[in-house]
Amino acid sequence: MLQYAIRRILLAIPVVLFISMIVFYIIQLPPGDFVSTYAAKMSSAGEVMTQHDMDVMRASLGLDRSWFIQYLVWMKGIILHFDFGYSFSFNKPVLAVIQQYMALTLIVSIVTMAFTYAIAIPIGIYCAVRQYSVADYIYSALGFLGMATPHFLLAIILMYLSYMYFGDPLVGLFSSKYVNAAWSMDKVLDLLKHMIIPVIVIGLGNTAELIRVMRGQMLDELNKPNVVTARSKGLSETKILLKYPTRAAMNPIVSTIGWSLTSVFTGSTITAIVLNLPIQGPVMYSALLAQDMYLAGTWLLFMAVLTVIGTLISDILLAWLDPKIRTAFRGM
């Protein structure tokens, strides 16, 4: 298992480098660059930049070189100095921008993933065991509704209901008096209160989908020979349920970690904008709009790394859950 994990990590390095190069190239495909975008903003504000001014600015920012040379310089800084470049739109190092929003992004992401799996797995098991019951129909209807409802629309509805019944739309992650305040127990409680809507909205889509997956897998496993044999030996239903069908049904759930990790981490960008959340999703969106290539490239590179890590975690957990996969790993 350890050798397999090390092999996968080593293979992931060229994959991430290749993805980073493709991402860096795609970011520069739209016409113009950060300087032209900046000049357009200056023009709308009544200040005109001449072509000479734009050329000087490009030279000072290193944007007058080819994209491949810019990419090599960027990767050299990352590998040798852990320097991800400079954010033109935020006017500070990229790493400083990411660190500014990373803590709250991690908090929202971890809580959302915990909410997703803690709700989806038990409900999926219950719906399979109580197939065609009233509760099964209710959860199925809610699941389809959650999958079909756009996140941003649900966010607006919940903010409206929160304002109507509690007098507070719960926009953002903090009340105005706690935004710049030092951390305290009151600020933590205010954060927890404001996280209710984001966690529900961002996590509901994945939760609804995983409920359907878990239910379907459990129904496939409940009548398999090993379960029937366990019943014939007199084992309790709870023990049978947890030891055999649930463990086998977890395989597709665990395999979703690779892609759900990145989708949750971005915080559903449109939803984060609607809710005014100070997390990484809106920052990436604004970086792409401004053609802030180093900030956008770093964030997309981070997403690629998360995908690789999530896939590796999924594979290791699958090997732990499924003896057949574990045997295959030993044979590698």
48 occurs within a structural domain: no
CA distances from 189 to 183, 194, 286 (A): 10, 9, 30
Could you report the per-residue pLDDT of 108-129, keeping only the tens digit for each? 888 888 888 899 899 999 999 8
What's the total number of domains in the chain? 1
Using only the alpha carbons of the chain, give its radius of gyration. 24
- Residue 322 lies inside a defined structural domain of this protein: no
Exposure b/e, 111-138, CB count within 10 A at least 16 = b = bbbebbbebbbebbbbbbbeeeeeebee
pLDDT band at 202 (very low <50, low <70, confident <90, very high): confident
DSSP 3-state of 86: strand
Per the prediction, the chain carries an average pLDDT of 83
Of 283, 114, 125, 142, which is closest to residue 202 (Cα–Cα)? 114
> What pLDDT does 330 receive?
55
- Residue length, the chain? 332
187-to-109, 172, 176, 183 alpha-carbon distances in Å: 19, 13, 11, 6
Report which residue type is found at 91: N
Question: DSSP assignment, residue 183?
Answer: P
Name the nearest CA neighbour of 199 among 310, 102, 285, 119: 119
Specify if 64 maps to a domain: no
pTM score, whole prediction: 0.77
Residue-level pLDDT at 142: 84
Please tell me whether residue 62 adopts helix, strand or coil conformation: coil
User: Residue 315 above 80 pLDDT?
Assistant: no
The answer as to whether 134 is a domain residue is: yes
The token pair that represents 227 in the structure block: 């379960």
Residues 14-31: tens digit of each pLDDT: 888 888 888 888 888 888
Q: What is the pLDDT of residue 60?
A: 86
In-domain check, residue 31 = no
Residue 202 and residue 146 in contact, taking contact as beta carbons nearer than 8 Å? no
Q: Which domain holds residue 214?
A: 103-293
Question: Residue 87 falls within a domain, yes or no?
Answer: no
Give a yes or no: residue 231 inside a domain. yes
Does residue 218 sit within a domain? yes
CATH code where residue 172 lies: 1.10.3720.10
